[in-house]
Amino acid sequence: MAGPTTPPATGGRVLRRTTTRNARRLTAGTVLISLHQVCEALVPVLIGVIVDRAIGPGDGTSLLWWLAGLAGLFTVLTIVYRYGARTLMRALAEETHLLRLEVAGRIMDPRGIETELRAGDLLTISSSDAEKASYIIDYIPRATGAVVATAVCSVTLLFIDVPLGIAVLVATPLALLALHLATPRITRRVAEQQEMMGTAASLATDLVSGVRPLQGIGAEAAASRRYAEVSQKSLAAALRAARTQGVYNAVSNASGSLLACGIAVAAGWFALRGRITIGEFLTIIGVAQFLMAPVGLLAVIPGWIAEARASADRIARVVSAPVLHTDDGAPAGPAVAASPGLAVRGLRYGTLDTIDLDARPGEFVGIVAHRGTDADALVRVLSGRVVPHEYDGQVLLGGEPLGGISLADARRTMLVEPHRTDLFEGTLAANLTAGADGDADPAAVSGALAAAAAGDVVSAHPEGLAYEVVERGSGLSGGQRQRVALARALLARPPILVLHDPTTAVDTVTEQAIAQGVRDLRHLAGTAAFTTVLVTNSPAMLAATDRVVVLDGGRVVTEGIHAELGATDDDYRRAVLR
């Protein structure tokens, strides 16, 4: 997703890449915007000329000519701005889009990334930070335009009076340099403020996500108070930043004004002594006044860039976060057999203490764990959310170790349906066929629905399969969500299917139907195409399996056929009897 080049590791690199990949539009926009600034700088020059040549001597013809010149200047000014700004906006919008996609792509990277950031932070990074970082495309032309305008002003001033022009050329960078010293402090304050805002947004995200449990115990008020506390901290950080920014604004504004003031006073002194004309004096005043804008801009721009940089840093933290599975050399790895079995050899991970398991091709195996943590650990390893070097032992798909085949191959071969069901926005049909590569015929869909006893979910809605699933399937009951997810898993027809407690929200009678449905769909007599591993201790489900493996204390304690184990093993009976 991230392309062939390595992702930028620092905010600075993110910004540098932004400028290089938008070089053409950025250049064109910068030229046009600088031209616009030149036009703006010429306006006070023309005002001085008009006073000097037309108003002073009372020359009407001259007034008309120079007004025509002013009109021409404004026309050029408007046109270059429009095209320059539009060009830059296109670049900026495109860059925001690209950064947003890059962050999202990284977060969604199938290899997984290591990050301590929360969903709320990630959302902030992919939305507002992507935009703030892209604004560098706006800042560069503005800064360049300001520099050009300052240069034009200086040339004008030099043309009128050399010592005065030199004074401006020296004083302006000095004032800027002094202001620049304050920027690290501003950056720090802004970063603090942004971080607090992120924390507040994360908390809001978390509380809103848990709104149902909150309301269930009447904790809305307590949750609101908790948010209010964080919000007040965020306010305090914002005020600290505003205080620093205010001082900075005061200093930059005052120094800009003083600069203009010094120039004007010097020019006035020259004019009083007759060294320059009134028109030249006015031009100097106008230019000096105008100069405040670019100088002021140059003073605040470092703050803006710092903000873009802070955002870019956070983007860099996501896009350069290390991936969990380094897929090196794996694409060249061996292909997995058409009807693979699943084997676990000497697995130690979490609470698991050396596990050996086998699900032979075509077998329907139940796994009963006395301890929930054992089941969770096993499913975690199988699902690939744990990197092979984090556990001891091997997981073999069709004889190939999980770390030795490509991630894509592994995921194609084995589907681990998470216990916590996620449905997505879209129609029921789209949700059901999510894993079927879109080539699910209606018969297959209704077959999977029947096997998962999910037919009633479709028939409960007048739209049928076209029913729009709203966020996370919240319009459906827990049982309905589970059965739709199960149908989705069955429809994907993975060679190996691992189900983790797929029927916890389903009643006993329906559970029995589902057990039979899964068996009929994947394990018809004489076929060995599909292997199914069912982690559960629902007896209704276990009764349909070929064989049951029992885990306790992180080890395999016994194996056998469900009915036999039930008849002979007291521990087993307790585990599945409930």
Partner 1 sequence: MSQQSEQSHQSEQSEQPDEHLLPIANSRTTWRWLGGRLRERPAALALTLLVGLLGAAAAVVPAYALGILVDRVRDGAGSSAILGIAVTIAAAALVGGAATGLTSYLVARLGGQILAMLRERTVSRALTLPVTTLERAGRGDLLSRVSADVAEVSNALVERIPVVISSTLLGTLTLAAMSSLDWRLGLAGAVAVPLYVLALRWYLPLAMPRYAKQRKTVARSSQRLVESMQGRRTVHAYGLQDRHLENIDMASRSSRDVSVWVFDLFTRFVGRVNRAEFGGLSVILVTGFLLVREGTVTVGQAAAAAVLFHRLFEPIGMLLFVFDEVLAAGASLARLVGVVKMPPEQEREQEQEQGPGQVSGAPGQVPADASLDLTDVHFAYAGGADVLRGISMRVPAGSRVALVGSTGAGKSTLAAIVAGSLRPRRGTVQLGGVSPAALGTDGFRGRVALITQEIHVFAGPLIEDLRLASPGATVQRATEALTTVGALEWAEALPEGLDTVVGEGGHELTAAQAQQLALARLVLADPAVAVLDEATAEAGSLGARLLEESAAAATRGRTTLIVAHRLTQAASADRVVVLEHGRIVEEGSHETLVGAGGRYAQLWSAWESRTPTSPDNKVRLA
What minimum distance in Å lies between the beta carbon of 416 and partner 1? 6
Toward partner 1, which CB reaches closer, 117 or 465?
Answer: 117
Count of residues for the chain?
Answer: 578
What minimum distance in Å lies between the beta carbon of 95 and partner 1? 9
Toward partner 1, which CB reaches closer, 404 or 418?
Answer: 418
DSSP structure class, residue 334: P
β-pair type (426-427, 468-469): antiparallel
Give the largest CA-CA distance in the chain.
Answer: 120
- 3-state SS record for 472-498: HHCCCCHHHHHHHHHHHHHHCCCCEEE
Toward partner 1, which CB reaches closer, 360 or 472?
Answer: 472
Q: Are 540 and 501 in contact (CB under 8 A)?
A: no
What minimum distance in Å lies between the beta carbon of 526 and partner 1? 27
Neighbours of 19 (CB within 10 A): 15
Toward partner 1, which CB reaches closer, 17 or 90?
Answer: 90
What minimum distance in Å lies between the beta carbon of 101 and partner 1? 6
Toward partner 1, which CB reaches closer, 346 or 464?
Answer: 464
What minimum distance in Å lies between the beta carbon of 508 and partner 1? 5
**Coil, strand or helix: which one is 167?**
helix
Give me the DSSP letters along 129-158: IHHHHHTHHHHHHHHHHHHHHHHHHHHHHH
- Both structure tokens of 68: 């025509």
Toward partner 1, which CB reaches closer, 10 or 214?
Answer: 214
Toward partner 1, which CB reaches closer, 10 or 560?
Answer: 560
What minimum distance in Å lies between the beta carbon of 266 and partner 1? 9
What minimum distance in Å lies between the beta carbon of 364 and partner 1? 17
- 3-state SS record for 534-546: EECCCHHHHCCCC
Toward partner 1, which CB reaches closer, 401 or 475?
Answer: 475
Q: How many helices (H) and strands (E) does the chain have?
A: 21, 12
**Residue corresponding to tokens 């031009």:** 283
Closest of 81, 83, 54 to residue 68, by C-alpha:
54
What minimum distance in Å lies between the beta carbon of 418 and partner 1? 4
Q: How far apart are the first and last CA of the chain?
A: 47
**Residue corresponding to tokens 């959302």:** 123
- 3-state SS record for 40-55: HHHHHHHHHHHHHHHH
Toward partner 1, which CB reaches closer, 407 or 521?
Answer: 407
Element (H, E) at 555: strand 555-560
Q: Are 349 and 377 in contact (CB under 8 A)?
A: yes
Toward partner 1, which CB reaches closer, 334 or 372?
Answer: 372
- 3-state SS record for 235-246: HHHHHHHHHHHH
